[in-house]
Amino acid sequence: MLDACYYSLIERADDGRFVGWVPDLPGVTAAGYTEDETVRALSRNTRQHLGKLVLSGKPLPAPRRVDDLPCSRGRRILRRLLLVVG
């Protein structure tokens, strides 16, 4: 069983959708019409990405500390959420 924790960043786009990504896992992104939808997709995509790394024998990237992540991007506020993958 895989247990890992990574922070995700989520922002609200100009069109009202929510967009999220996991900075420590390049390519892991998700978007949705609600924040909950986006978080669920991010969790699923993170689990799949980590599973592929494990199956290929690659090490899991070290997660950053929450204090090392940005809390805004330009004028947009970024929400930082911890994803627990198990």
Which CATH number characterizes residue 62's domain?
3.30.160.250
SS3 27: coil
Q: What is the pLDDT of residues 52-61, one digit of tens each?
A: 999 999 999 9
pLDDT band of 9, cuts 50, 70, 90: very high
Mean pLDDT of the chain: 93
Query: How confident is the model over 18-38, as a mean pLDDT?
Result: 97
> Residue 23 pLDDT > 90, yes or no?
yes
Q: Which domain holds residue 56?
A: 4-85
pLDDT band of 86, cuts 50, 70, 90: confident
What span, in angstroms and rounded, lies between the C-alpha atoms of 56 and 9? 26
74: left (phi over 0), alpha (psi -120 to 50) or beta: left
Short-list 84, 78, 67, CA closest to 9? 78
pLDDT band of 73, cuts 50, 70, 90: confident
